[in-house]
Structure 1
Amino acid sequence: MEYIIICLAALIGSGLTLFSGFGLGTLLVPVFGLFFPIEMAILLTAIVHFLNNLFKLFLLGKSANLNVVLRFGIPAIIFAFLGAYVLSLLTDMQPLTDYQIGNHTFEIMPIKLIIGIVLLFFSLFEVVPSFVNLQFDKKYLPVGGILSGFFGGLSGNQGALRAAFLIRANLSKQSFIATGVVIACLVDISRLTVYSKQILNNQSQFDYTLLTLATLSAFIGAYFGNKLLKKVTLVTIQNIVTFMLILFAILLIIGII
């Protein structure tokens, strides 16, 4: 069952990310988190996310705006290292507290608390009108790189913030998407460099068949999303997934997942 759910999430998330800030990382982290520890979910998502971004780079990369990539991407790379490092620190921390419901004991873990809060924050970009339409002047592109890079390194969630800053950069639709893909690749390379030790230490726990199928599903989503590169609004799907994202974040924060 996890194969079907994860592959479907990869397919939908990869397609959605071409049209909005809502993306693959936002969707895959909680889905992987249903079947793996949250730190493992972030690692697995990072691998699929990076491979999918390389595929999208092949499809769209030539339309990227180099000036915007440099102004946004360089700060993003630096702060993605920092976000990934913070994640590695959180992984090793002890529970903050615990509580019981009946015969079950639940622990409030620092990593789950922080990731849950981050997921809740990014879910607001999908449902709160003032957040959905949030835009920043292009002079703040380096600030956007800092924020997007840090949260990308910490949790894999960067698309919504990146879109909010890039939307004012006077880019064509094709260039807007391609520039976002290049920046996402840079952030992925940065955070995977930090994650590499954890990936090597945990590779025996990886289901490589699942990783391969999830990556191929993301490729298919990106391919058909590129073919349908018009203003596609999948409001119902986004609202359902956002609701599930909020629910997952709350259960993560209170230690049930």
Structure 2
Amino acid sequence: MEKLNYIFILLALFAEIIGTIGGFGSSVFFVPIGNFYFDFYSVLGLTAIFHLSSNISKIMLFKKGIDKKLLINIGIPAVLFVIVGGVLSKYLNTLVLEVFLALFLIALSLLFLVKKDLIIRSTKKNAITGGVLSGFSAGLLGTGGAIRGLTMAAFNLEKSVFIATSAFIDFFIDLVRSVVYYKNGYIHQHDLIYVPFLLIIGILGTYIGKRILKHIPQNKFKRISLFLILLIGVVTLSNIFIQRV
């Protein structure tokens, strides 16, 4: 137990709570946080395992709100392209892609925060495109929930439907990429000491997040999500800079 980093465990709980409130999952915070404590590939392996329990909890707590049409239009391409991203992660230099992802999230969230009346068309094509990009990013960089969140925001879903649908898609993404990451050798024996704690955090953080979410009015939910996505982009970019200094 002396090898455990308890600050990391507390930060992981924070990531799960905020990820539940935002509706796009904890990996968008967990991956940048994890990169401060582990190598990039260990973070990918831990994220996939952590997310499995996290998303099972969300599905159980928000199961009445799943949007089946979005589940198909976003979920199927996301699962297919998480395989592509997971395989490529073993061969590509991810620095440029990490920077691009951070800048993309910052720019897009600021655009929606400033242009409050701007609307992305809620079309099948846009849903599929969002699924492809979020799945590929999840496999390659460990996080794709924010991209999926931005896509789903175009459909103006009620918050419980948003969270349940996103969690269901994420569950299948994590299940598939766990297999890919295991074959890539990203799930390391020395990191498994954290797994029991992360499984508990996945359940506890989801429960706390749901309790907090009850006090957030629907009209403020989308704006809070966009602020969180902006923060994710800033944290990711800052983490990249700190690691290279």
Higher Cα Rg, which structure: 1
> Which residue does the alignment assign to 1:59?
61
Runs (5+) with no aligned partner, structure 1: 91-109
C-alpha deviations, 1:77-101, integer Å up to 9, x for none? 11111111111223xxxxxxxxxxx
CA contact (8 A) 1:117 1:249 kept: no
Does residue 249 (structure 1) correspond to residue 240 (structure 2)? The answer is: yes
> Which residue does the alignment assign to 2:147?
161
> Which residue does the alignment assign to 2:101?
118
C-alpha deviations, 1:117-176, integer Å up to 9, x for none? 4344335455x2447867532211111111111111111222221122212325322111
Partner of residue 190 from structure 2, selected from 164, 189, 205: 205
**Quick one: percent identity of the two aligned structures?**
26
Does residue 180 (structure 1) correspond to residue 166 (structure 2)? The answer is: yes
> Which residue does the alignment assign to 1:79?
81
Work out the CA distance in 2 between the residues paired with 1:5 and 1:129. Answer: 34
Work out the CA distance in 1 between the residues paired with 2:20 and 2:73. Answer: 21
Could you state the TM-score of these two structures normalised by the residue count of structure 1? Answer: 0.77
Partner of residue 222 from structure 1, selected from 190, 206, 210: 206
| Structure 2 counterpart of 1:205, one-letter code | H
| Structure 1 counterpart of 2:167, one-letter code | V
Could you state the TM-score of these two structures normalised by the residue count of structure 2? Answer: 0.80
Work out the CA distance in 2 between the residues paired with 1:247 and 1:67. Answer: 37
Work out the CA distance in 2 between the residues paired with 1:161 and 1:177. Answer: 14
Secondary structure of the corresponding residue to residue 169 of structure 1: coil
Work out the CA distance in 2 between the residues paired with 1:7 and 1:211. Answer: 10
Equivalences for residues 10-89 of structure 1 within 5 A: 10-20=12-22, 23-89=25-91
Q: CA RMSD in A?
A: 3.0
Work out the CA distance in 2 between the residues paired with 1:88 and 1:150. Answer: 13
Deviates more, 1:33-42 or 1:234-243: 234-243
CA contact (8 A) 2:82 2:176 kept: yes
Runs (5+) with no aligned partner, structure 2: none
C-alpha deviations, 1:27-75, integer Å up to 9, x for none? 1112221222111112112211222111211211232011110111111
Work out the CA distance in 1 between the residues paired with 2:78 and 2:211. Answer: 29
Does residue 145 (structure 1) correspond to residue 147 (structure 2)? The answer is: no
